[in-house]
Structure 1
Amino acid sequence: MNPNTFEYSESFAREMDAKDKLAHFRTRFHFPKVEGKEAIYFCGNSLGLQPKSVKDYLGKELSNWADLAVDGHFHGEDAWYHIRKKSKPALAEILGAQEHEVVAMNNLSVNLHLLMVSFYRPTKERYKIIVEAGAFPSDQYMLETQIKFHGLNPENVLLELSPRTGEHTLRTEDILAEIRIHGDSLAMVNMSGIQYYTGQLFDLKAITAAAHEVGAMAGFDLAHAAGNAVLKLHDWEVDFATWCSYKYLNSGPGNVSGIFVHERYAERPDLPRFAGWWGHDEGERFRMEKGFVPMHGADGWQLANSNVLALAAHQASLDIFQEAGMENLRAKSERLTAYLEFLIEHISGNSGVLEIITPKNPAERGCQLSLLIHRGGKAVFDEFYKHGVVGDWRNPNVIRLAPTPLYNSYLDVFRFATILEQSLEKFA
């Protein structure tokens, strides 16, 4: 990924696409249009594109519903009673987990709350939580209300880590130092996998190890990391995690989330939890008796039966992920994002209009680049959109662009660069 090998030319972009072994996956997605033309879609960090196969996957379950009705729970291919199991192999690969450590269920914020019930158990001595400053609002609200639920004051509990003066992202050594400083009073580290605003990929392995060294739990919101970065949650000994499926996992707006719970908690019925019928031992479930007995692994945190139509849309994308392979996707992502970075820096130069605040080190970022706009504000974003670029604006002054390896091309990146060059003339 030596930037000296990159060129700002259409022929170079087309040559790179011709060499790309994943290029054919692009044709398996629907692209939106802007002003009647196919958009340059760099917004997978907010909502992934729809796989064309989704209609068939949904159609199959609609047919099962029509033909079998209630019998669909126990009869036919992929009986609904066990439908959650179908997504486990792909989720295990994407998250770096054992199949019993993951399950698709609920939505991300709901799952964060459920996991906190089990893994945030403050005591008089250990009660503090480390989180990055400026975490996504859902995480902020969740942490605030969970702390209050325990009768504590968030101002005394939350340790919000900010970058050093003049810097945009956190240094790993500073995160680890804070963990050690507050070790005796630290109950949990609960951070993003990738910070939504800056695009920084945190060192989950090092953070988890440091948390465990001081006796604290380590849990992560992987909304922007799942399907984007290579994860090894089991090997890293992460305690718990959750994610959403509608960003890089391309499973549809607001679609099902999932959880990871490390296998050391697989047979821990003593862990406090908010239980539901579907988390109860499925071999005994239809006895309809009181006395909750959690299922083995992450399944024991389920509440209600599976949303079959949601899981069908989810599976359409997961099958594509298994076919492509996370390691292959990550390798392309690093090259594609590096090319975008090269072109932005080549074109913007010393204009002073924008600054990339995402780490330059590929190991410290996913496919997202966050552009801090110094002049022009949202007008710069609006100019991009007018020319067909679908990105993401985040207040107060950041444009997020995410060239996604499953469906974006080097030609997309080149086309964006020509639009960037035209746009800078208005704001430079």
Structure 2
Amino acid sequence: MSFLPYQFSEHFAQQLDAQDPLASFRSRFHFPKVNGKAAIYFCGNSLGIQPKSVKDHLERELNNWADLAVDGHFHGEDAWYHVRKKSKPALAEIVGAHEHEVVAMNHLSVNLHLLMVSFYRPTKERYKIIVEAGAFPSDQYMLESQIKFHGLDPADALVELTPRPGEHTLRTEDILTEIKKQGDKLAMVNMAGLQYYTGQLFDMQAITAAAHEVGAVAGFDLAHAAGNAVLKLHDWDVDFATWCSYKYLNSGPGNISGIFVHERYAERPDLPRFAGWWGHDEDERFKMEKGFVPMFGADGWQLANNNVLALAAHQASLDIFQEAGMENLRAKSEKLTGYLEFLIREISGESGVLEIITPKNPAERGCQLSLLIHRGGKAVFDEFYKHGVVGDWRNPNVIRLAPTPLYNSFMDVFRFAQILEQSLEKFA
């Protein structure tokens, strides 16, 4: 897919779609409607749209429940006792891991807390945590409460990294410098993989290496990175990570999360954790005896038995990801987001109305672009929503747009640009 330089024309956008090897995946999703018409949906960074196959996946499990009831745990297609295993191949591909390093379970904030139990082990000398300033509130609350749980003061223990004056995103060199500066005081780096507000994709490999060099661990919240960026968590030597499945992974509102735990911890029963019976050795589980023996790998962090209906909806999307391939999706994403960036800059020109605060380098972003709107504000956003564009508004004046390669087209981007131009003329 080579089609630079871009052009602001309908014919050009149609040509790009005609050349797109992933174009057919669009027809496998339900598009929401605005004013009775299919939306231009650029909000997959908040909630992905529904794969049409979800209904069949759910109905199969509902039929199993109806026909088998409790026997469904051990009989029938995809017996529930082992159902978590079905998602492992796709999850491993999406985050760049071995299958034993990943498992779908719980919700993201729950998983963050559970992983902190194991990996945040502060001492009198080594207790600090590095995080990006302005992290998503869930992460802020989690970190604050975990620090307080250990009897420490967040104002002292939490090191929040801010961009340089006049800049919107963090420089990798500044992150690495701060890690080295904290040195023996640093217990953990716990950042987003991709920052939800600015859309910046962090260099997780470099950050992890720097953390390990000073004796700290590195963990990432991949809510906005999983299914969006190419990840290689195992090769990058990341200690742990977690993500949600309802954004780019299109698995349904509030649906199941997943975790990654590097294989060096696969057989570490000595590692502190909050245990549950679904994390206990499954060959011995139904003996119902005292003495927790964790399963090998990430499975040993499970608590309760699997949410079968949640996993069914999740699997519908994961099947599509395996068919499309993350490398292919990423290649399209760079072109699609690049086209959106080109059109925004064409429309904005030298007016100063719009400022893209997401890094320009494709290696430092996913598919999201975050726009500072300096005139017109929410009125411009509301206007293009009336014309069928679903994006995301963040106070005080940021619009987040995420053209998603599985279901968005280049014509979506072109049509959005036309609507944006009209909205700016009206209100900015």
TM range (shorter): over 0.9
Q: CA deviation at 1:3?
A: 8.7
After superposition, what is the alpha-carbon deviation per residue over 1:187-213, rounded to whole angstroms, capped at 9, x for unaligned?
A: 000000000000000000000000000
Q: Which residue in the other structure is 1:7 paired with?
A: 7
- Distance (whole Å) between structure 1 residues aligned to residue 164 and residue 376 of structure 2: 26
Local SS of the residue matching 2:241:
strand
- Distance (whole Å) between structure 2 residues aligned to residue 169 and residue 281 of structure 1: 44
After superposition, what is the alpha-carbon deviation per residue over 1:230-266, rounded to whole angstroms, capped at 9, x for unaligned?
A: 0000000000000000000000000000000000000
Distance 1:27 1:228, change over 3 A: same
- The answer on whether the counterparts of 1:3 and 1:342 sit within 8 Å (CA) in structure 2 is no
Q: CA deviation at 1:79?
A: 0.1
Give structure 1 regions of 4+ aligned residues with deviation exceeding 3 angstroms.
Answer: 1-4
**Runs of at least 5 residues in structure 2 that lack an aligned partner in the other structure:** none
- Distance (whole Å) between structure 2 residues aligned to residue 221 and residue 199 of structure 1: 14
Query: Equivalences for 1:265-284 in 2 at 5 Å?
Result: 265-284=265-284
Q: Which residue in the other structure is 1:258 paired with?
A: 258
Query: Equivalences for 1:381-400 in 2 at 5 Å?
Result: 381-400=381-400
**Runs of at least 5 residues in structure 1 that lack an aligned partner in the other structure:** none
- Distance (whole Å) between structure 1 residues aligned to residue 136 and residue 379 of structure 2: 24
One-letter amino acid of the counterpart of residue 16, structure 1: L
Are positions 1:239 and 2:239 aligned together? Answer: yes
Query: Equivalences for 1:31-110 in 2 at 5 Å?
Result: 31-110=31-110
Are positions 1:117 and 2:117 aligned together? Answer: yes
One-letter amino acid of the counterpart of residue 84, structure 1: R
One-letter amino acid of the counterpart of residue 386, structure 2: K
Local SS of the residue matching 1:187:
strand
Q: Which residue in the other structure is 1:338 paired with?
A: 338
Q: CA deviation at 1:4?
A: 5.7
- The answer on whether the counterparts of 1:353 and 1:374 sit within 8 Å (CA) in structure 2 is yes
After superposition, what is the alpha-carbon deviation per residue over 1:12-51, rounded to whole angstroms, capped at 9, x for unaligned?
A: 0000000000000000000011111110000000000100
Q: Which residue in the other structure is 2:406 paired with?
A: 406
- The answer on whether the counterparts of 1:219 and 1:238 sit within 8 Å (CA) in structure 2 is yes
After superposition, what is the alpha-carbon deviation per residue over 1:51-100, rounded to whole angstroms, capped at 9, x for unaligned?
A: 00000000000000000000000001100000000000000000000000
Q: Which residue in the other structure is 2:142 paired with?
A: 142
Aligned-pair Cα RMSD in Å: 0.9
Are positions 1:289 and 2:253 aligned together? Answer: no
Q: Which residue in the other structure is 1:314 paired with?
A: 314
- Distance (whole Å) between structure 2 residues aligned to residue 390 and residue 195 of structure 1: 20
Q: Which residue in the other structure is 1:191 paired with?
A: 191
Q: Which residue in the other structure is 1:360 paired with?
A: 360
- Distance (whole Å) between structure 1 residues aligned to residue 202 and residue 384 of structure 2: 29
Q: Which residue in the other structure is 1:30 paired with?
A: 30
- Distance (whole Å) between structure 1 residues aligned to residue 3 and residue 63 of structure 2: 51
- The answer on whether the counterparts of 2:379 and 2:427 sit within 8 Å (CA) in structure 1 is no
TM-score (norm 1): 0.99
Local SS of the residue matching 1:5:
coil
After superposition, what is the alpha-carbon deviation per residue over 1:303-358, rounded to whole angstroms, capped at 9, x for unaligned?
A: 00000000000000000000000000000000000000000000111222211000
Q: CA deviation at 1:178?
A: 0.2
After superposition, what is the alpha-carbon deviation per residue over 1:346-397, rounded to whole angstroms, capped at 9, x for unaligned?
A: 0111222211000000000000000011112211211110111000011121
One-letter amino acid of the counterpart of residue 318, structure 1: L
Query: Equivalences for 1:155-170 in 2 at 5 Å?
Result: 155-170=155-170
- Distance (whole Å) between structure 2 residues aligned to residue 397 and residue 105 of structure 1: 35
Local SS of the residue matching 1:189:
strand
One-letter amino acid of the counterpart of residue 206, structure 2: A
Distance 1:163 1:88, change over 3 A: same
Distance 1:210 1:49, change over 3 A: same
One-letter amino acid of the counterpart of residue 21, structure 2: K
Q: CA deviation at 1:2?
A: 8.8
- Distance (whole Å) between structure 2 residues aligned to residue 25 and residue 321 of structure 1: 10
- Distance (whole Å) between structure 2 residues aligned to residue 397 and residue 421 of structure 1: 18
- The answer on whether the counterparts of 2:191 and 2:220 sit within 8 Å (CA) in structure 1 is yes
- Distance (whole Å) between structure 1 residues aligned to residue 172 and residue 129 of structure 2: 17
Distance 1:35 1:84, change over 3 A: same
- Distance (whole Å) between structure 2 residues aligned to residue 425 and residue 393 of structure 1: 19
- The answer on whether the counterparts of 1:14 and 1:411 sit within 8 Å (CA) in structure 2 is yes
Identity, in percent, stands at 86
After superposition, what is the alpha-carbon deviation per residue over 1:121-172, rounded to whole angstroms, capped at 9, x for unaligned?
A: 0001100000000000000000000000000000000000000000000000
Q: Which residue in the other structure is 1:300 paired with?
A: 300
- The answer on whether the counterparts of 2:3 and 2:16 sit within 8 Å (CA) in structure 1 is no
- Distance (whole Å) between structure 2 residues aligned to residue 380 and residue 193 of structure 1: 30
- Distance (whole Å) between structure 1 residues aligned to residue 373 and residue 130 of structure 2: 29
One-letter amino acid of the counterpart of residue 314, structure 2: H
- The answer on whether the counterparts of 2:192 and 2:220 sit within 8 Å (CA) in structure 1 is yes
Instruction: Report the more deviating stretch, 380-389 or 403-412.
Output: 380-389
- The answer on whether the counterparts of 1:245 and 1:257 sit within 8 Å (CA) in structure 2 is yes
- The answer on whether the counterparts of 2:376 and 2:424 sit within 8 Å (CA) in structure 1 is no
Aligned residue pairs, count: 428
Are positions 1:375 and 2:375 aligned together? Answer: yes
- Distance (whole Å) between structure 2 residues aligned to residue 171 and residue 38 of structure 1: 39
